[in-house]
Amino acid sequence: LRSLKVLIEKEEFEIDSIEILLSYVQNKKLEIGGSLILPELIDLGKITVVLLNKIIEVRGLDEVFIEDSKGSVLWKVLSPGLKMEELRNSLLSKIDYSRVHVEKLINELAKRADEMLKNRMEGVLLQLLERYSEDTEELRQEVLLLAVEGNKENIIENLCDMGVDINGEDEANSYRLAIENERCNSLVKLLEIGDVLDIINEEESVLEMSIRKGGKIAQIAVKALGQSKYKETRREAIVEAIKLELDREIEEQSIKMLIKEVDILDTDLMGESALEIVLKMDNRLSDFAINALGRTKRLDESVNCVVIALKIQIEKVVKQSGDIKHIESLLSYLKGKKLELSTNRPLFTELIESRSLTLPIFDIIIKNRGIKELFKEENKEALNRIILMKNVDYLLRIIDEVDEDNKYKKSLLGTVELEAKELCKRNRLSHIMLLVEKLKVSNKIKQYALHLAVKQNDRDQVAKAIGLGASIDGEEYGVNSYILSIQEDRYASFTKLIELGDILHKNNNGESVLELALRKGGEYAKHAVEALKGRKKSEAEYSLTGVIGKEILSKLADLGYRVTVETKQSKVQKYKEAIEQEDIQLLESLLKKGDVLDTVNTETKDKSVLELASSKGGECADIVLKELPKSIYLKERASYIIAAIEIIIYRDGDIEKLVKRVGALLENLPVEEDLKLENKSLLYSMMEVNKLKLDLFEKFMEIRGAGELFKEYNKELLRIIISMENSKYLLILVEAIKSTKSKGEKEGYIENLLIGVEDSLELLVESGRFANLKIILDNCGDDFIVERSRDKKLGKLIYLAARKQKKEIVELLLGNFVSFVTKEDLSMDKWRERLSKLIVIVGKNAGFPGAELAGGLIGELVKPKERSEGVDEIMCIDEIYREGKWAIGIEIEGRKNLLKYFVESVKSFKEMSRKKLEERMESYFKKEFKGFKDWVRKELGKIENSCITKKMLDSRDMSSELAEGDEKKEYQLRKEKKLKEVLEELEKYNKIHDSYRKFMKEKITRVLKGKMEWDGYLKKDLFDNYNIMIEAREALNAKVGEYKKEEIKIEAIKMAS
């Protein structure tokens, strides 16, 4: 070896001598003292082409690949410089003839590519990549990434000239690398070659990703937009970028540049226009955005976007964060257009719902659109609701406008006639008086005015109503105003009625006001007698029951009235006889001059005529129920009515008749009266003995309203209804809450229901009350998100359901959670992040072991190396989420934003192609097992989506663990078969996914953009497609599971051996 070195170092040597010496050391490594001879001699310039060829001829091409700490012949020859060029060309020409050594060279290049770029060997590297272009496709992609990382613009350009894709998949995407690692020079070069509107992995544009990064990267991307060839075809990406810039509060000028590049009514992927986005997110640019409407070419096709923008601006003005002039500007662009956010979503209705229709806003809209706007068919419901508003000025404005335009007066009259009863229920006296004063309303509304005035005990309003034409003795509603004033105990109203009416007027039963007042007694009787003074003496004789004071009798006698007072005992006996003997005629005649709430002595206690007749049933019960509305004791003797309800329910009998009778009693029970007997809830008592049948409960809710269940004395009943097995009771309660007209009351009931639900959460989960939870969450779920504490409760509930393995409930909760936050326009990643954080917080607060791992596991597939208690629950949630079944059948009507989830699911359901999976698996199985799992985990983190196919990469070929023989062969055959099945299933899956993607793009995205109507057919198509997609995922997941089971079998074999 030393002689060989000396010989080569001579200026002149015989090649034959070299060959002879080489033959003596043919099986020895060419090194002295641990250092290779040839690399050192190359450095000294002692190796010629002839000599190198001879060495290769004797030693073989492998010799050039042998290296030590100072390098190899190969790397010395590949070094830059003219001296090496001849050696390099000669060596490469020999390598070219050996496929094995070409692959070996490429592997060496792959290992040292980074080093070559850092040591001024990029020229050689590029030459080699081009020379072996057919074999270096993947390597060139890797070198491009290294060049991007090193800001080597010339290398990037040269590689792209060779056809390297700058927009590769997953981790091979050079745009992504330049943006994430802030390689500004590289990004500039990439954008010169590519396009800032290139879409990365079918998800977001380079522009969006750059803006998300911010800083100089964002500036570079925005600047590059001017040269984009996709500006006309990829406007959605620019709008998405505008949204991102606004979110990051980037300087105004940059955002304006983006806005100028689009039509202000261009939309993002979810159908939200640039105009809406700007108005929603940045007051500074409102003028700029609204002025941009002047150059739009899309107004006719995108009217809905302008209406939504108008709603946004109105809500800002109401919150005192917007300019009212912008409302007028937007309305000017909407002349002749429908004010609808989408089909069947009128602006007026939406503003009422969001409490944004203030009087100034109402005036601006009417001023710009005219009163005719309110009388359009689509605004029918809105008009009704505006008339019912608490502030009477809305109704006044409508009437004043209608007076100027007589065309709509008839329509208004028709509407108020329909809403009059509701106005009366809501005690809107000023509204009804206004209608009576200003419009030619029916006698019915005039009577409403008088009845409300009586109930409010307002003498002036009573007089006014009568002056406006209300009949003082009209009995259209069962009782006249005299009886009403006595029933309601409105003494001031009673005195005014007597002053304006006739104390001797008789009602339909032939009973005079005087007689009624005398039966009522007290100040009513005294005032009635005083009212007789000055009248012509009468010979009339009155027969009265009960105790009348001597003073009253004396005054009546002085005035010429003869009163025969029948003893109470006598009247009571007659009542008893009539009811016991079912003498209907006698009972009717007694009630004409008596009262169904008159008391009757029984052996146990005093009872009312109503109770006795109700106990008897039949016609007797029907008669007293018919006469009940005329009773003058409805308020002070309400307990008798409640007792009668209990009697009728306990009698059982025909359910239809029973419900009808209970309804009649409830209708006459004063609303302020508690539904209790002997200080105990009537409804709870009925529930205890199984008497509160479903139909009955529904009738109670219909008449008494949902508020009855939220009274303190019904607290236990509410708890029972929330958690009872028959969920129909809960559904009836929820429907009653939804039908509550007053928004304030409705919100209060929902709040109280959710408090009750919170107290029963664990019980609902443990007992598997799926239907109950579904009813609550479907109808009141939004309120879980309003309150952050409830948000945490929902997280706790998901965790508990997972622990109890209640898959159905976890699916339900996930579906509701997505529904809520999607309404807040959060992307899928955001709500997943929120869910994981939520579980972490809840888990820590509630002491759930392992909950802190949720943040790392939701969105990750590889389980932690060391398992801990609590991981199963989190993995359960994660797995159920990934299955996607929870989204099947989620309610979309009225919540179109939920369609965004399905559009986003296209991305989350994306899996690797067959080719990509095969390439990755082949690459991974070449790795050594040492550190394999850590390496896999790192690699998986780079891959977007591909949730199912990622599992294949968390596998390895374990045949090396088995001894040679039949067992090993069988294992390898099984693995090959299972892998083939997975790959075939994956091909089927990707075809279904492609079809799913097209459906979402062509149909659902268009619905979100307002270009297609949402209807029942489209809903069916959506869920049909989604179901097929979910089934395909399940099938692929099953095949992957079968493949991975082979590893478990090998582990079992190893343990057994």
pLDDT-based confidence at 854, cuts 50/70/90?
very low
Q: Give the least confident one: 242-246, 327-331, 392-396, 851-855.
A: 851-855
pLDDT tens column, 1030-1046: 899 889 989 998 888 87
pLDDT score recorded for residue 706:
92
Residue 387, both tokens:
């008339």
pLDDT-based confidence at 781, cuts 50/70/90?
low
- Determine the Cα angle at 767 with ends 764 and 769, to 5°: 55
Nearest to 1034 by CA among 914, 879, 863: 879
pLDDT score recorded for residue 661:
93
CB 1004 within 8 A of CB 902: yes
Classify 909 as helix, strand or coil. Answer: coil
pLDDT-based confidence at 862, cuts 50/70/90?
very low
Q: Give the least confident one: 312-321, 458-467, 767-776, 987-996.
A: 767-776
pLDDT-based confidence at 791, cuts 50/70/90?
very low
As a whole number, mean pLDDT of residues 64-82 equals 82
pLDDT-based confidence at 787, cuts 50/70/90?
very low
543 Cβ contact list (under 8 Å, min separation 6): 563, 564, 566, 593
Nearest to 161 by CA among 183, 185, 193: 193
Q: 342 or 446: whose pLDDT is higher?
A: 446
Q: Give the least confident one: 13-17, 299-303, 328-332, 700-704.
A: 13-17
Q: 988 or 927: whose pLDDT is higher?
A: 988
Q: For residues 277 and 264, give the distance between their C-alpha atoms in angstroms, rounded to a whole number.
A: 10
CB 221 within 8 A of CB 207: yes
pLDDT score recorded for residue 991:
94
93-101 — which CB contacts under 8 Å span 24+ positions?
94/53, 94/56, 94/61, 95/61, 98/61, 101/61, 101/62, 101/65
C-alpha pair distances (Å), 246 with each of 282, 308, 619, 889:
7, 18, 74, 35
What percent of the chain clears pLDDT 70, i.e. is strictly above it? 80
pLDDT tens column, 444-457: 999 999 999 999 99
As a whole number, mean pLDDT of residues 163-174 equals 78
The predicted model scores a pTM of 0.67
pLDDT score recorded for residue 242:
83
Q: How far apart are the first and last CA of the chain?
A: 52
Classify 672 as helix, strand or coil. Answer: coil
Classify 878 as helix, strand or coil. Answer: helix
CB 149 within 8 A of CB 118: no
Q: For residues 444 and 471, give the distance between their C-alpha atoms in angstroms, rounded to a whole number.
A: 10
pLDDT-based confidence at 729, cuts 50/70/90?
very high
Residue 434, pLDDT > 90, answer yes
pLDDT score recorded for residue 696:
93
pLDDT tens column, 356-409: 999 999 999 999 999 999 999 999 999 999 999 999 999 999 999 987 667 888
Q: For residues 328 and 312, give the distance between their C-alpha atoms in angstroms, rounded to a whole number.
A: 13
DSSP tally for the chain: helices H, then strands E: 58, 14
Q: Give the least confident one: 423-432, 807-816, 932-941.
A: 932-941
Nearest to 737 by CA among 774, 757, 715, 710: 710
Residue 885, pLDDT > 90, answer no
pLDDT score recorded for residue 394:
95
As a whole number, mean pLDDT of residues 276-293 equals 88
pLDDT score recorded for residue 798:
65
Q: For residues 541 and 560, give the distance between their C-alpha atoms in angstroms, rounded to a whole number.
A: 9
pLDDT tens column, 202-251: 667 888 888 888 889 988 988 888 888 887 777 888 888 888 778 777 67
pLDDT score recorded for residue 258:
85
Q: Give the least confident one: 322-336, 437-451, 518-532, 535-549.
A: 535-549
Residue 968, pLDDT > 80, answer no
By the 10 Å C-beta count (0-12 exposed, 13-18 middle, 19+ buried), 143 is classed as buried
Residue 759, pLDDT > 80, answer no
Residue 537, pLDDT > 50, answer yes
pLDDT score recorded for residue 985:
95
Residue 253, pLDDT > 90, answer no
Residue 847, pLDDT > 60, answer no
pLDDT score recorded for residue 464:
95
Residue-wise DSSP of 546-591: S---HHHHHHHHHTT-EEEEEPHHHHHHHHHHHHHTT-HHHHHHHH
pLDDT tens column, 103-158: 989 988 888 888 888 888 888 899 999 999 888 888 888 899 899 999 999 999 99
pLDDT score recorded for residue 625:
93
Q: 793 or 312: whose pLDDT is higher?
A: 312
922 Cβ contact list (under 8 Å, min separation 6): none
pLDDT score recorded for residue 899:
73
Residue 1048, pLDDT > 90, answer no
Residue 855, pLDDT > 80, answer no
pLDDT tens column, 1011-1030: 777 778 888 898 899 899 98
C-alpha pair distances (Å), 737 with each of 170, 358, 720, 758, 907:
50, 25, 17, 18, 39
As a whole number, mean pLDDT of residues 609-625 equals 92
Q: For residues 196 and 177, give the distance between their C-alpha atoms in angstroms, rounded to a whole number.
A: 14
Task: Measure CA 315 to chain center.
Answer: 21
Phi-psi label, residue 884: left if phi above 0, alpha if psi -120 to 50, beta otherwise: left
Classify 888 as helix, strand or coil. Answer: coil
Does an H or E element contain 468, and which? none
CB 372 within 8 A of CB 409: no
**Pairing verdict, β 541-545 and 562-566:** parallel
**Pairing verdict, β 676-677 and 680-681:** antiparallel
- The single-letter DSSP state of residue 120 is T
As a whole number, mean pLDDT of residues 74-100 equals 84
782 Cβ contact list (under 8 Å, min separation 6): 820, 823
pLDDT score recorded for residue 962:
62
pLDDT score recorded for residue 875:
62
Residue 645, pLDDT > 60, answer yes
What percent of the chain clears pLDDT 90, i.e. is strictly above it? 30
Residue-wise DSSP of 753-791: HHHHHHHHHHHHHHTT-HHHHHHHHHHHTHHHHHSHHHH
pLDDT-based confidence at 948, cuts 50/70/90?
confident
pLDDT score recorded for residue 827:
38
Residue 575, pLDDT > 80, answer yes
pLDDT score recorded for residue 574:
87
Q: For residues 341 and 643, give the distance between their C-alpha atoms in angstroms, rounded to a whole number.
A: 52
Residue 935, pLDDT > 70, answer no
Which residue's entry shows tokens 């996930």? 814
As a whole number, mean pLDDT of residues 868-895 equals 60
Q: For residues 615 and 392, give the distance between their C-alpha atoms in angstroms, rounded to a whole number.
A: 47
For the chain, which domains are there? Answer: 370-441 (no CATH), 442-501 (1.25.40.20), 896-1056 (no CATH)
Q: Give the least confident one: 50-64, 864-878, 927-941.
A: 927-941
pLDDT tens column, 737-747: 988 887 788 88
What's the mean pLDDT when you consider all of the chain?
81
pLDDT-based confidence at 867, cuts 50/70/90?
very low
Residue 6, pLDDT > 80, answer yes
Residue 617, pLDDT > 80, answer yes
pLDDT-based confidence at 542, cuts 50/70/90?
low
